[in-house]
Structure 1
Amino acid sequence: MKMTKNSRSTIKKGFNSIKLRDFMRYECRQRLRIGGEERFTVNAPDPLYRIDGAWFVCMDNHILPKKNECNVLSFGINIDPSFDMEMNKNFDCHVHSFDPLIEADFFKSIRNVNPKLSNGYVLNINKKWKFYSIGISDKSYGSMSDIAKGSFLSLGDILRLTGLDGKIIDIFKIDIEGDEKKVFHTLDVDYACKYFKQFMFETHKNFKFKELAKFEKCFRMFHRDGRLFMKDFIDTPTGTLTEFQNPGGFLLEIKDFRNEINLAEYLFPSVFKLTHLN
Protein backbone atom coordinates (compact mmCIF):
# COMPACT_ATOMS: atom_id res chain seq x y z
CA MET A 1 0.00 0.00 0.00
CA LYS A 2 1.42 3.37 -1.03
CA MET A 3 0.52 6.35 1.10
CA THR A 4 0.82 9.99 0.01
CA LYS A 5 3.04 12.54 1.65
CA ASN A 6 -0.09 14.00 3.21
CA SER A 7 -0.78 10.67 4.89
CA ARG A 8 2.74 10.32 6.25
CA SER A 9 3.02 13.83 7.64
CA THR A 10 2.87 14.37 11.36
CA ILE A 11 -0.45 15.92 12.37
CA LYS A 12 -0.71 18.01 15.50
CA LYS A 13 -3.35 16.84 17.90
CA GLY A 14 -6.33 18.96 18.80
CA PHE A 15 -9.51 20.38 17.29
CA ASN A 16 -7.84 23.27 15.45
CA SER A 17 -5.36 21.04 13.65
CA ILE A 18 -8.20 18.96 12.20
CA LYS A 19 -9.45 22.01 10.32
CA LEU A 20 -6.06 22.59 8.73
CA ARG A 21 -5.63 19.38 6.79
CA ASP A 22 -7.27 17.10 4.27
CA PHE A 23 -8.48 13.56 4.83
CA MET A 24 -5.60 11.07 4.81
CA ARG A 25 -5.44 9.20 1.53
CA TYR A 26 -4.77 5.87 -0.08
CA GLU A 27 -3.51 5.84 -3.66
CA CYS A 28 -5.80 3.34 -5.34
CA ARG A 29 -4.05 1.98 -8.42
CA GLN A 30 -7.23 0.85 -10.13
CA ARG A 31 -10.50 2.74 -9.76
CA LEU A 32 -13.60 1.61 -11.60
CA ARG A 33 -16.70 3.73 -12.13
CA ILE A 34 -19.81 1.62 -11.65
CA GLY A 35 -23.40 2.57 -12.44
CA GLY A 36 -24.85 5.81 -13.76
CA GLU A 37 -27.23 6.34 -16.65
CA GLU A 38 -25.74 5.24 -19.95
CA ARG A 39 -26.66 8.49 -21.74
CA PHE A 40 -24.53 10.39 -19.21
CA THR A 41 -21.76 7.82 -19.06
CA VAL A 42 -21.06 7.88 -22.80
CA ASN A 43 -20.69 11.66 -22.70
CA ALA A 44 -18.11 11.68 -19.91
CA PRO A 45 -14.74 12.88 -21.26
CA ASP A 46 -12.77 10.26 -19.34
CA PRO A 47 -13.39 7.19 -17.14
CA LEU A 48 -12.68 9.11 -13.93
CA TYR A 49 -15.41 11.70 -14.44
CA ARG A 50 -18.16 11.40 -11.85
CA ILE A 51 -21.60 10.73 -13.30
CA ASP A 52 -24.65 11.15 -11.12
CA GLY A 53 -25.83 7.71 -10.03
CA ALA A 54 -22.34 6.23 -10.45
CA TRP A 55 -19.82 5.41 -7.74
CA PHE A 56 -16.11 4.62 -7.88
CA VAL A 57 -14.89 1.32 -6.44
CA CYS A 58 -11.26 0.53 -5.69
CA MET A 59 -10.17 -2.63 -7.47
CA ASP A 60 -6.75 -3.10 -5.88
CA ASN A 61 -6.11 -6.73 -5.03
CA HIS A 62 -6.57 -6.51 -1.26
CA ILE A 63 -9.87 -4.63 -1.46
CA LEU A 64 -11.70 -5.55 -4.67
CA PRO A 65 -15.11 -7.22 -4.35
CA LYS A 66 -14.66 -10.89 -5.16
CA LYS A 67 -17.21 -12.24 -7.58
CA ASN A 68 -19.81 -14.54 -6.08
CA GLU A 69 -18.58 -13.73 -2.56
CA CYS A 70 -19.21 -9.98 -2.12
CA ASN A 71 -21.87 -8.23 -0.05
CA VAL A 72 -23.21 -4.75 -0.82
CA LEU A 73 -25.38 -2.53 1.39
CA SER A 74 -26.78 0.40 -0.58
CA PHE A 75 -28.88 3.12 1.06
CA GLY A 76 -30.67 5.80 -0.94
CA ILE A 77 -31.49 4.46 -4.41
CA ASN A 78 -33.85 7.23 -5.53
CA ILE A 79 -34.83 6.62 -9.17
CA ASP A 80 -31.54 5.07 -10.29
CA PRO A 81 -30.60 1.51 -9.21
CA SER A 82 -27.83 1.25 -11.82
CA PHE A 83 -24.97 0.92 -9.31
CA ASP A 84 -26.71 -1.86 -7.39
CA MET A 85 -27.72 -3.56 -10.64
CA GLU A 86 -24.16 -3.62 -11.93
CA MET A 87 -22.73 -4.91 -8.66
CA ASN A 88 -25.25 -7.73 -8.80
CA LYS A 89 -24.95 -8.50 -12.51
CA ASN A 90 -21.25 -8.04 -13.20
CA PHE A 91 -19.81 -9.04 -9.83
CA ASP A 92 -22.47 -11.53 -8.72
CA CYS A 93 -22.64 -9.78 -5.34
CA HIS A 94 -25.35 -10.19 -2.74
CA VAL A 95 -26.94 -6.72 -2.92
CA HIS A 96 -29.35 -5.18 -0.42
CA SER A 97 -30.87 -1.91 -1.69
CA PHE A 98 -32.82 0.48 0.56
CA ASP A 99 -35.06 3.48 -0.04
CA PRO A 100 -38.05 4.31 2.20
CA LEU A 101 -39.51 7.11 0.08
CA ILE A 102 -38.88 6.46 -3.61
CA GLU A 103 -39.27 3.27 -5.61
CA ALA A 104 -37.48 3.26 -8.94
CA ASP A 105 -39.44 2.29 -12.04
CA PHE A 106 -37.32 -0.84 -12.34
CA PHE A 107 -38.63 -2.10 -8.99
CA LYS A 108 -42.20 -1.03 -9.77
CA SER A 109 -42.15 -3.02 -13.00
CA ILE A 110 -41.32 -6.18 -11.05
CA ARG A 111 -44.15 -5.55 -8.59
CA ASN A 112 -46.61 -4.95 -11.43
CA VAL A 113 -45.96 -8.43 -12.84
CA ASN A 114 -47.17 -10.04 -9.62
CA PRO A 115 -49.95 -8.29 -7.62
CA LYS A 116 -48.95 -10.27 -4.52
CA LEU A 117 -45.76 -8.21 -4.37
CA SER A 118 -47.53 -4.84 -4.22
CA ASN A 119 -47.52 -4.27 -0.45
CA GLY A 120 -44.41 -6.02 0.83
CA TYR A 121 -41.56 -3.90 2.19
CA VAL A 122 -39.01 -6.31 0.69
CA LEU A 123 -38.85 -7.23 -2.97
CA ASN A 124 -36.76 -10.15 -4.25
CA ILE A 125 -35.21 -9.01 -7.54
CA ASN A 126 -33.33 -12.28 -7.94
CA LYS A 127 -31.57 -14.81 -5.72
CA LYS A 128 -28.86 -12.32 -4.75
CA TRP A 129 -30.57 -8.94 -4.91
CA LYS A 130 -33.28 -7.53 -2.64
CA PHE A 131 -34.89 -4.12 -2.49
CA TYR A 132 -36.30 -2.85 0.81
CA SER A 133 -38.80 0.02 1.02
CA ILE A 134 -37.29 1.02 4.35
CA GLY A 135 -34.60 3.45 5.43
CA ILE A 136 -31.67 3.68 7.78
CA SER A 137 -31.48 6.10 10.70
CA ASP A 138 -29.71 6.61 14.01
CA LYS A 139 -32.25 4.34 15.72
CA SER A 140 -35.18 2.08 14.89
CA TYR A 141 -38.63 3.61 14.97
CA GLY A 142 -40.97 0.81 16.00
CA SER A 143 -40.30 -2.87 16.54
CA MET A 144 -38.87 -5.39 14.11
CA SER A 145 -42.22 -7.19 14.08
CA ASP A 146 -43.98 -4.07 12.77
CA ILE A 147 -41.76 -3.31 9.77
CA ALA A 148 -43.68 -1.88 6.83
CA LYS A 149 -43.02 0.30 3.81
CA GLY A 150 -41.51 3.57 4.98
CA SER A 151 -40.08 2.18 8.22
CA PHE A 152 -36.71 3.37 9.52
CA LEU A 153 -34.27 1.02 11.24
CA SER A 154 -30.91 1.36 12.93
CA LEU A 155 -27.87 -0.12 11.22
CA GLY A 156 -27.82 -2.90 13.80
CA ASP A 157 -31.39 -3.95 13.01
CA ILE A 158 -30.72 -3.71 9.27
CA LEU A 159 -27.72 -5.99 9.63
CA ARG A 160 -29.86 -8.50 11.48
CA LEU A 161 -32.69 -8.16 8.92
CA THR A 162 -30.34 -8.86 6.02
CA GLY A 163 -28.41 -11.61 7.78
CA LEU A 164 -25.19 -9.59 7.51
CA ASP A 165 -24.55 -9.03 11.20
CA GLY A 166 -20.96 -10.02 11.87
CA LYS A 167 -20.22 -10.55 8.17
CA ILE A 168 -17.91 -8.69 5.79
CA ILE A 169 -19.58 -5.84 3.87
CA ASP A 170 -17.54 -5.30 0.72
CA ILE A 171 -19.28 -2.03 -0.12
CA PHE A 172 -21.27 0.15 2.26
CA LYS A 173 -22.84 2.95 0.20
CA ILE A 174 -25.07 5.61 1.71
CA ASP A 175 -26.66 8.59 -0.04
CA ILE A 176 -29.65 9.75 2.03
CA GLU A 177 -29.72 13.51 1.44
CA GLY A 178 -28.19 14.81 4.64
CA ASP A 179 -29.34 12.18 7.13
CA GLU A 180 -25.98 10.44 6.79
CA LYS A 181 -24.88 12.62 9.69
CA LYS A 182 -27.37 10.98 12.08
CA VAL A 183 -26.27 7.51 11.01
CA PHE A 184 -22.57 8.32 11.38
CA HIS A 185 -23.13 9.86 14.80
CA THR A 186 -24.16 6.46 16.19
CA LEU A 187 -22.00 4.30 13.91
CA ASP A 188 -19.61 2.06 15.83
CA VAL A 189 -16.30 2.82 14.15
CA ASP A 190 -14.70 -0.32 15.58
CA TYR A 191 -17.45 -2.40 13.96
CA ALA A 192 -16.96 -0.61 10.63
CA CYS A 193 -13.21 -1.16 10.85
CA LYS A 194 -13.73 -4.87 11.37
CA TYR A 195 -16.43 -5.54 8.77
CA PHE A 196 -16.57 -2.73 6.13
CA LYS A 197 -14.09 -2.96 3.25
CA GLN A 198 -15.16 0.07 1.21
CA PHE A 199 -17.25 2.91 2.56
CA MET A 200 -18.77 5.56 0.28
CA PHE A 201 -21.13 8.42 0.97
CA GLU A 202 -22.23 11.91 0.10
CA THR A 203 -21.98 14.79 2.51
CA HIS A 204 -23.91 18.03 2.72
CA LYS A 205 -23.74 21.41 4.41
CA ASN A 206 -24.54 19.90 7.80
CA PHE A 207 -21.23 17.97 7.83
CA LYS A 208 -17.99 19.11 9.38
CA PHE A 209 -14.63 17.50 8.75
CA LYS A 210 -14.05 16.79 12.43
CA GLU A 211 -17.11 14.51 12.33
CA LEU A 212 -15.52 12.40 9.60
CA ALA A 213 -11.99 12.28 10.97
CA LYS A 214 -12.92 9.42 13.31
CA PHE A 215 -13.03 7.10 10.30
CA GLU A 216 -9.29 7.56 9.85
CA LYS A 217 -8.87 4.92 12.53
CA CYS A 218 -8.83 2.35 9.73
CA PHE A 219 -10.03 4.03 6.50
CA ARG A 220 -8.30 6.22 3.93
CA MET A 221 -9.88 8.24 1.14
CA PHE A 222 -9.11 6.98 -2.36
CA HIS A 223 -11.48 9.14 -4.39
CA ARG A 224 -13.43 12.35 -3.90
CA ASP A 225 -15.72 14.23 -6.27
CA GLY A 226 -16.31 17.93 -5.93
CA ARG A 227 -19.81 19.33 -6.29
CA LEU A 228 -19.08 22.77 -7.67
CA PHE A 229 -21.30 23.43 -10.65
CA MET A 230 -22.75 26.06 -12.94
CA LYS A 231 -26.23 24.65 -13.51
CA ASP A 232 -27.95 21.69 -15.14
CA PHE A 233 -28.39 21.90 -18.88
CA ILE A 234 -31.38 20.13 -20.38
CA ASP A 235 -31.46 18.88 -23.99
CA THR A 236 -27.93 19.97 -24.80
CA PRO A 237 -26.00 18.11 -27.54
CA THR A 238 -24.12 16.16 -24.87
CA GLY A 239 -27.13 15.37 -22.72
CA THR A 240 -27.79 16.61 -19.23
CA LEU A 241 -24.65 17.94 -17.55
CA THR A 242 -24.77 17.37 -13.82
CA GLU A 243 -22.70 19.19 -11.24
CA PHE A 244 -20.25 16.29 -11.33
CA GLN A 245 -19.66 16.56 -15.07
CA ASN A 246 -19.16 20.30 -15.04
CA PRO A 247 -16.81 21.15 -12.16
CA GLY A 248 -15.43 24.29 -13.81
CA GLY A 249 -17.84 26.72 -12.17
CA PHE A 250 -20.02 26.86 -9.12
CA LEU A 251 -23.39 28.04 -7.89
CA LEU A 252 -23.62 28.61 -4.14
CA GLU A 253 -25.81 30.71 -1.90
CA ILE A 254 -23.11 32.58 0.02
CA LYS A 255 -25.66 33.89 2.51
CA ASP A 256 -26.10 30.32 3.77
CA PHE A 257 -22.58 30.34 5.24
CA ARG A 258 -21.55 32.09 8.46
CA ASN A 259 -17.93 32.71 7.49
CA GLU A 260 -15.07 31.47 5.32
CA ILE A 261 -14.39 28.46 7.52
CA ASN A 262 -18.01 27.37 7.33
CA LEU A 263 -17.86 27.70 3.54
CA ALA A 264 -14.56 25.78 3.34
CA GLU A 265 -15.97 22.94 5.45
CA TYR A 266 -18.87 22.63 2.99
CA LEU A 267 -16.65 22.64 -0.07
CA PHE A 268 -14.26 20.07 1.40
CA PRO A 269 -16.29 16.85 1.69
CA SER A 270 -18.80 16.22 -1.15
CA VAL A 271 -18.54 12.56 -2.25
CA PHE A 272 -16.15 10.29 -0.36
CA LYS A 273 -14.83 6.85 -1.20
CA LEU A 274 -12.95 5.21 1.67
CA THR A 275 -10.98 2.02 1.58
CA HIS A 276 -9.87 -0.16 4.45
CA LEU A 277 -6.15 -0.16 5.19
CA ASN A 278 -5.77 -3.90 5.66
Structure 2
Amino acid sequence: MMQKHKYILTAIVTIIMVTSFLRVYLPRAVIKGEWSQLYGNRQPDFEAPPPLARQIKSPEKTDENEPRDQMVEVIIQGKSCNIRKPADPEEIYRYIAKTPLKCEMPVMVGGTARKAEPPILNEKWVCMDKRYNIKPWNCLVYSFGIDVDWSFDDDMDKRFNCKVYAFDHTIGKPDHNRSKNIQFYATGIAAQKKKNVDRYINLLKRFGHENTIIDYLKIDVEGAERQFFEDVLYQTPQVLKNIKQIGMEIHTGKNKKNMELYYKYAQLLECFGFKLIFQHILDVPFLLFKEKGELRSCCYELVWAQDKQW
Protein backbone atom coordinates (compact mmCIF):
# COMPACT_ATOMS: atom_id res chain seq x y z
CA MET A 1 0.00 0.00 0.00
CA MET A 2 2.81 2.41 0.89
CA GLN A 3 4.50 1.57 -2.42
CA LYS A 4 1.27 2.40 -4.28
CA HIS A 5 0.95 5.75 -2.52
CA LYS A 6 4.57 6.47 -3.39
CA TYR A 7 3.83 5.93 -7.11
CA ILE A 8 0.74 8.18 -6.93
CA LEU A 9 2.69 10.93 -5.19
CA THR A 10 5.47 10.69 -7.80
CA ALA A 11 2.90 10.96 -10.61
CA ILE A 12 1.29 14.05 -9.07
CA VAL A 13 4.67 15.76 -8.65
CA THR A 14 5.55 14.94 -12.28
CA ILE A 15 2.24 16.42 -13.56
CA ILE A 16 2.81 19.61 -11.56
CA MET A 17 6.33 19.99 -12.97
CA VAL A 18 5.19 19.42 -16.56
CA THR A 19 2.32 21.89 -16.15
CA SER A 20 4.65 24.53 -14.74
CA PHE A 21 7.02 23.98 -17.65
CA LEU A 22 4.26 24.43 -20.23
CA ARG A 23 2.91 27.54 -18.56
CA VAL A 24 6.26 29.25 -18.19
CA TYR A 25 8.57 28.11 -20.94
CA LEU A 26 6.20 27.35 -23.80
CA PRO A 27 4.80 30.89 -24.21
CA ARG A 28 8.32 32.32 -24.13
CA ALA A 29 9.44 29.81 -26.69
CA VAL A 30 6.55 30.68 -29.01
CA ILE A 31 7.21 34.44 -28.64
CA LYS A 32 10.88 33.88 -29.45
CA GLY A 33 10.00 31.82 -32.51
CA GLU A 34 11.29 28.61 -30.90
CA TRP A 35 8.21 26.52 -31.62
CA SER A 36 10.19 24.26 -33.94
CA GLN A 37 12.73 23.55 -31.21
CA LEU A 38 9.93 22.13 -29.06
CA TYR A 39 7.74 20.35 -31.60
CA GLY A 40 9.67 20.17 -34.86
CA ASN A 41 7.53 21.08 -37.88
CA ARG A 42 4.20 20.73 -36.10
CA GLN A 43 2.15 23.95 -36.14
CA PRO A 44 0.50 25.46 -33.06
CA ASP A 45 -3.26 24.96 -32.82
CA PHE A 46 -3.92 28.66 -32.12
CA GLU A 47 -3.89 31.64 -34.44
CA ALA A 48 -0.63 33.59 -34.50
CA PRO A 49 -0.84 37.41 -34.34
CA PRO A 50 -1.18 39.07 -37.76
CA PRO A 51 2.24 39.56 -39.38
CA LEU A 52 1.59 43.19 -40.39
CA ALA A 53 1.38 44.61 -36.88
CA ARG A 54 3.21 43.83 -33.70
CA GLN A 55 3.64 45.44 -30.32
CA ILE A 56 6.87 47.22 -29.42
CA LYS A 57 7.76 48.04 -25.85
CA SER A 58 8.02 51.75 -25.21
CA PRO A 59 10.75 53.24 -23.01
CA GLU A 60 10.13 53.02 -19.30
CA LYS A 61 8.75 56.16 -17.66
CA THR A 62 10.54 57.55 -14.62
CA ASP A 63 7.26 58.76 -13.10
CA GLU A 64 5.11 55.84 -12.06
CA ASN A 65 1.97 57.96 -12.35
CA GLU A 66 2.70 58.97 -15.94
CA PRO A 67 0.96 56.75 -18.53
CA ARG A 68 3.26 54.66 -20.68
CA ASP A 69 2.89 55.10 -24.41
CA GLN A 70 2.72 52.00 -26.51
CA MET A 71 4.20 51.69 -29.97
CA VAL A 72 2.94 49.44 -32.72
CA GLU A 73 5.01 48.55 -35.76
CA VAL A 74 2.82 48.42 -38.85
CA ILE A 75 4.34 46.88 -41.96
CA ILE A 76 2.64 47.89 -45.20
CA GLN A 77 3.97 46.42 -48.43
CA GLY A 78 7.37 45.92 -46.86
CA LYS A 79 7.56 49.40 -45.33
CA SER A 80 7.83 49.58 -41.54
CA CYS A 81 5.96 52.36 -39.73
CA ASN A 82 6.17 52.85 -35.96
CA ILE A 83 2.81 54.13 -34.74
CA ARG A 84 2.31 55.57 -31.28
CA LYS A 85 -0.85 54.49 -29.50
CA PRO A 86 -1.88 57.53 -27.46
CA ALA A 87 -2.50 57.34 -23.76
CA ASP A 88 -5.67 59.38 -24.34
CA PRO A 89 -7.74 60.46 -27.39
CA GLU A 90 -6.76 64.11 -26.86
CA GLU A 91 -3.44 63.36 -28.58
CA ILE A 92 -5.03 64.17 -31.95
CA TYR A 93 -5.53 67.77 -30.80
CA ARG A 94 -1.93 68.01 -29.62
CA TYR A 95 -0.90 66.75 -33.04
CA ILE A 96 -3.10 69.28 -34.87
CA ALA A 97 -1.70 72.15 -32.80
CA LYS A 98 1.76 71.65 -34.32
CA THR A 99 2.78 72.21 -37.94
CA PRO A 100 6.31 70.86 -38.32
CA LEU A 101 6.46 71.81 -41.99
CA LYS A 102 6.57 75.53 -42.73
CA CYS A 103 5.17 77.27 -45.80
CA GLU A 104 6.59 80.60 -46.96
CA MET A 105 3.82 81.29 -49.46
CA PRO A 106 0.42 80.04 -48.22
CA VAL A 107 -2.44 80.92 -50.57
CA MET A 108 -6.12 80.82 -49.64
CA VAL A 109 -8.17 79.21 -52.38
CA GLY A 110 -11.96 79.37 -52.49
CA GLY A 111 -14.13 80.27 -49.57
CA THR A 112 -17.54 81.92 -49.28
CA ALA A 113 -17.99 85.37 -47.73
CA ARG A 114 -20.67 85.54 -45.02
CA LYS A 115 -22.34 88.10 -42.79
CA ALA A 116 -22.37 85.57 -39.93
CA GLU A 117 -19.40 84.10 -38.09
CA PRO A 118 -17.01 83.02 -39.41
CA PRO A 119 -16.87 85.69 -42.14
CA ILE A 120 -15.32 83.24 -44.62
CA LEU A 121 -16.35 79.59 -44.84
CA ASN A 122 -14.99 76.57 -46.73
CA GLU A 123 -11.71 78.21 -47.67
CA LYS A 124 -8.80 75.89 -48.48
CA TRP A 125 -5.07 76.53 -48.33
CA VAL A 126 -2.37 75.67 -50.85
CA CYS A 127 1.35 76.10 -50.28
CA MET A 128 2.83 77.75 -53.36
CA ASP A 129 6.49 77.52 -52.27
CA LYS A 130 8.89 76.92 -55.16
CA ARG A 131 9.75 73.42 -54.01
CA TYR A 132 6.19 72.27 -54.79
CA ASN A 133 6.51 73.46 -58.36
CA ILE A 134 2.78 74.10 -58.85
CA LYS A 135 2.73 75.71 -62.28
CA PRO A 136 -0.29 77.71 -63.46
CA TRP A 137 -1.58 76.40 -66.79
CA ASN A 138 0.06 73.05 -66.05
CA CYS A 139 -1.40 71.73 -62.78
CA LEU A 140 -3.72 68.88 -61.85
CA VAL A 141 -6.25 68.85 -58.99
CA TYR A 142 -8.56 66.15 -57.67
CA SER A 143 -11.45 67.54 -55.62
CA PHE A 144 -13.78 65.27 -53.62
CA GLY A 145 -16.87 66.84 -52.06
CA ILE A 146 -18.68 69.79 -53.60
CA ASP A 147 -22.16 70.15 -52.05
CA VAL A 148 -23.18 73.67 -53.10
CA ASP A 149 -19.75 75.29 -52.88
CA TRP A 150 -17.68 75.36 -56.06
CA SER A 151 -15.42 78.17 -54.85
CA PHE A 152 -12.28 76.02 -54.48
CA ASP A 153 -12.71 74.37 -57.87
CA ASP A 154 -13.53 77.64 -59.63
CA ASP A 155 -10.53 79.35 -58.03
CA MET A 156 -8.13 76.60 -59.09
CA ASP A 157 -9.54 77.00 -62.59
CA LYS A 158 -9.71 80.80 -62.94
CA ARG A 159 -6.68 81.83 -60.87
CA PHE A 160 -4.28 79.03 -61.71
CA ASN A 161 -5.78 77.46 -64.82
CA CYS A 162 -5.45 74.00 -63.28
CA LYS A 163 -7.22 70.97 -64.66
CA VAL A 164 -9.76 70.00 -61.98
CA TYR A 165 -11.49 66.64 -61.61
CA ALA A 166 -14.40 67.21 -59.23
CA PHE A 167 -16.43 64.44 -57.58
CA ASP A 168 -19.66 64.29 -55.58
CA HIS A 169 -22.42 61.68 -55.73
CA THR A 170 -24.74 63.43 -53.27
CA ILE A 171 -25.79 66.61 -55.10
CA GLY A 172 -28.08 65.14 -57.76
CA LYS A 173 -26.07 66.36 -60.74
CA PRO A 174 -24.95 64.16 -63.67
CA ASP A 175 -21.44 64.04 -65.09
CA HIS A 176 -20.74 67.29 -66.93
CA ASN A 177 -18.13 69.91 -67.79
CA ARG A 178 -18.53 72.91 -65.49
CA SER A 179 -15.93 74.80 -67.50
CA LYS A 180 -13.13 74.12 -69.93
CA ASN A 181 -10.92 73.03 -67.03
CA ILE A 182 -13.43 71.54 -64.56
CA GLN A 183 -14.87 68.10 -65.21
CA PHE A 184 -17.51 66.91 -62.74
CA TYR A 185 -18.38 63.29 -61.99
CA ALA A 186 -21.28 62.03 -59.89
CA THR A 187 -18.98 59.63 -58.05
CA GLY A 188 -17.90 59.55 -54.42
CA ILE A 189 -14.74 58.27 -52.74
CA ALA A 190 -14.88 54.96 -50.83
CA ALA A 191 -12.83 51.96 -49.73
CA GLN A 192 -14.43 49.74 -52.35
CA LYS A 193 -16.33 50.13 -55.58
CA LYS A 194 -20.10 50.28 -55.13
CA LYS A 195 -22.99 52.13 -56.71
CA ASN A 196 -21.98 55.78 -57.25
CA VAL A 197 -18.72 55.44 -55.27
CA ASP A 198 -15.29 54.11 -56.13
CA ARG A 199 -11.74 53.68 -54.86
CA TYR A 200 -9.14 56.39 -55.40
CA ILE A 201 -6.87 54.01 -57.36
CA ASN A 202 -9.73 53.10 -59.70
CA LEU A 203 -10.47 56.74 -60.44
CA LEU A 204 -6.82 57.41 -61.20
CA LYS A 205 -6.82 54.50 -63.62
CA ARG A 206 -10.13 55.60 -65.13
CA PHE A 207 -8.70 58.96 -66.14
CA GLY A 208 -5.19 57.76 -66.95
CA HIS A 209 -3.54 59.38 -63.91
CA GLU A 210 -2.18 56.33 -62.10
CA ASN A 211 1.40 57.52 -62.70
CA THR A 212 0.65 61.25 -62.96
CA ILE A 213 1.61 63.90 -60.41
CA ILE A 214 -1.40 65.30 -58.54
CA ASP A 215 -0.59 68.85 -57.47
CA TYR A 216 -3.40 69.03 -54.92
CA LEU A 217 -5.85 66.48 -53.56
CA LYS A 218 -8.85 68.05 -51.80
CA ILE A 219 -11.10 65.83 -49.69
CA ASP A 220 -14.14 67.28 -47.93
CA VAL A 221 -16.56 64.37 -47.75
CA GLU A 222 -18.24 64.52 -44.33
CA GLY A 223 -16.51 61.55 -42.72
CA ALA A 224 -15.94 59.36 -45.78
CA GLU A 225 -12.28 60.40 -45.62
CA ARG A 226 -11.86 57.49 -43.20
CA GLN A 227 -12.62 55.12 -46.08
CA PHE A 228 -10.04 56.91 -48.21
CA PHE A 229 -7.44 56.44 -45.48
CA GLU A 230 -8.24 52.76 -44.91
CA ASP A 231 -8.03 52.01 -48.61
CA VAL A 232 -5.03 54.09 -49.60
CA LEU A 233 -2.85 53.67 -46.50
CA TYR A 234 -3.27 49.91 -46.22
CA GLN A 235 -4.06 48.72 -49.76
CA THR A 236 -2.53 51.14 -52.28
CA PRO A 237 0.05 53.35 -50.50
CA GLN A 238 2.01 53.59 -53.76
CA VAL A 239 -0.43 56.26 -54.98
CA LEU A 240 0.75 58.64 -52.25
CA LYS A 241 4.15 59.19 -53.84
CA ASN A 242 2.55 61.20 -56.67
CA ILE A 243 0.57 63.60 -54.44
CA LYS A 244 2.20 66.90 -53.54
CA GLN A 245 -0.38 68.18 -51.04
CA ILE A 246 -3.53 66.84 -49.39
CA GLY A 247 -6.12 69.31 -48.12
CA MET A 248 -8.72 67.58 -45.98
CA GLU A 249 -11.52 68.34 -43.57
CA ILE A 250 -11.44 65.71 -40.83
CA HIS A 251 -14.42 64.96 -38.61
CA THR A 252 -13.37 63.99 -35.11
CA GLY A 253 -16.46 65.16 -33.25
CA LYS A 254 -16.69 63.84 -29.70
CA ASN A 255 -16.08 60.24 -30.73
CA LYS A 256 -12.96 58.95 -28.97
CA LYS A 257 -12.53 56.09 -31.44
CA ASN A 258 -12.51 58.55 -34.33
CA MET A 259 -9.94 60.72 -32.55
CA GLU A 260 -7.61 57.74 -32.17
CA LEU A 261 -8.19 56.67 -35.79
CA TYR A 262 -7.27 60.09 -37.17
CA TYR A 263 -4.14 60.16 -35.04
CA LYS A 264 -3.14 56.79 -36.45
CA TYR A 265 -3.85 57.92 -40.03
CA ALA A 266 -1.81 61.09 -39.52
CA GLN A 267 1.19 59.06 -38.33
CA LEU A 268 0.93 56.70 -41.28
CA LEU A 269 0.85 59.68 -43.64
CA GLU A 270 4.04 60.92 -41.99
CA CYS A 271 5.60 57.50 -42.48
CA PHE A 272 4.93 57.88 -46.21
CA GLY A 273 6.59 61.29 -46.40
CA PHE A 274 3.85 63.79 -45.50
CA LYS A 275 3.96 66.41 -42.77
CA LEU A 276 1.29 68.74 -41.47
CA ILE A 277 1.79 72.17 -43.01
CA PHE A 278 -1.49 73.92 -42.15
CA GLN A 279 -4.31 73.53 -39.63
CA HIS A 280 -7.51 75.45 -38.98
CA ILE A 281 -10.43 74.81 -36.63
CA LEU A 282 -13.85 74.95 -38.27
CA ASP A 283 -15.20 77.65 -35.99
CA VAL A 284 -18.86 77.68 -36.96
CA PRO A 285 -20.58 78.49 -33.63
CA PHE A 286 -23.05 75.60 -33.56
CA LEU A 287 -20.23 73.12 -34.32
CA LEU A 288 -18.07 74.23 -31.39
CA PHE A 289 -17.98 72.69 -27.92
CA LYS A 290 -15.85 72.70 -24.79
CA GLU A 291 -13.82 69.63 -23.80
CA LYS A 292 -11.63 69.67 -20.69
CA GLY A 293 -11.75 73.45 -20.73
CA GLU A 294 -10.56 73.65 -24.36
CA LEU A 295 -12.56 74.92 -27.32
CA ARG A 296 -13.09 72.09 -29.81
CA SER A 297 -14.96 71.64 -33.07
CA CYS A 298 -16.50 68.72 -34.86
CA CYS A 299 -14.17 69.39 -37.76
CA TYR A 300 -10.71 70.66 -38.67
CA GLU A 301 -9.16 71.74 -41.96
CA LEU A 302 -5.73 70.18 -42.36
CA VAL A 303 -3.14 70.26 -45.13
CA TRP A 304 -0.34 67.71 -45.42
CA ALA A 305 2.51 68.17 -47.87
CA GLN A 306 5.41 65.99 -48.88
CA ASP A 307 8.64 67.28 -47.42
CA LYS A 308 10.74 67.30 -50.60
CA GLN A 309 11.64 69.19 -53.73
CA TRP A 310 9.43 68.43 -56.74
TM over 0.5: yes
**How many residues were matched structurally?**
212
Provide, for residues 214-271 of structure 1, a one-character-per-residue CA deviation record: whole Å limited to 9, x for no partner.
Answer: 000211111101134534xxxxxxxxxxx6xxxxxx336x7xxxxx6xx98x769721
- The alignment status of 1:22 with 2:76, answered yes or no, reads no
Higher strand proportion: 2
- For residues 74-223 of structure 1, what are the structure 2 equivalents within 5 Å? 74-102=143-171, 121-141=174-194, 151-188=196-233, 190-205=237-252, 206-208=258-260, 209-217=263-271, 218-223=273-278
Q: TM-score, normalised by structure 2?
A: 0.60
Q: Which amino acid aligns with 1:25?
A: P
Matched position secondary structure for 2:157: helix
Q: 1:25 to 1:75 in 2, by over 3 A?
A: same
Change (3 A) 1:50 1:33: farther
Amino acid at match of 1:277: D
CA distance in 2, matches of 1:88, 1:16: 41
Residue 282 (structure 2) aligned to one of 202, 227, 233: 227
Which one of 47, 65, 72 corresponds to residue 141 of structure 2? Answer: 72
Deviations 1:8-45 (A, max 9, x none): xxx995423794852662011111111112x33x999x
Distance of 1:16 and 1:152 partners within structure 2? 33
Measure the CA separation in 1 of the matches of 2:304 and 2:140. 16
Give structure 1 stretches of 5+ with no counterpart.
Answer: 1-10, 109-120, 143-150, 232-242, 244-249, 255-259
Q: Which amino acid aligns with 1:133?
A: A
Task: Describe the superposition over 1:116-157 as per-residue Cα deviations: whole angstroms up to 9, x where unpaired.
Answer: xxxxx4212333220111111001115xxxxxxxx1111111
Partner of 2:227, secondary structure, is helix
Deviations 1:136-186 (A, max 9, x none): 1001115xxxxxxxx111111111222211100000010110111011111
How far residue 80 of structure 1 moved from its aligned partner, in angstroms, is 0.6
CA distance in 1, matches of 2:131, 2:70: 30
Q: Secondary structure at the match of 1:203?
A: strand
Query: Percent identical across equivalent pairs?
Result: 26
Selected match of 2:108 from 14, 28, 33: 33
Deviations 1:196-224 (A, max 9, x none): 00101111133431232100021111110
User: Aligned partners of 2:283 and 2:178: how far apart in 1?
Assistant: 36
Alignment RMSD, CA only? Answer: 3.1
Decide whether the 8 Å contact of 2:141 with 2:163 is kept in 1: yes
Which is higher, the Rg of structure 1 or of structure 2? 2
Task: Tell me the TM-score normalised to structure 1 length.
Answer: 0.67
Judging changes above 3 Å, is the alpha-carbon distance between structure 1 residues 274 and 58 closer, same or farther for their aligned structure 2 residues? same
Which one scores higher on RCO, CA 8 angstroms, separation ≥ 6? Answer: 1
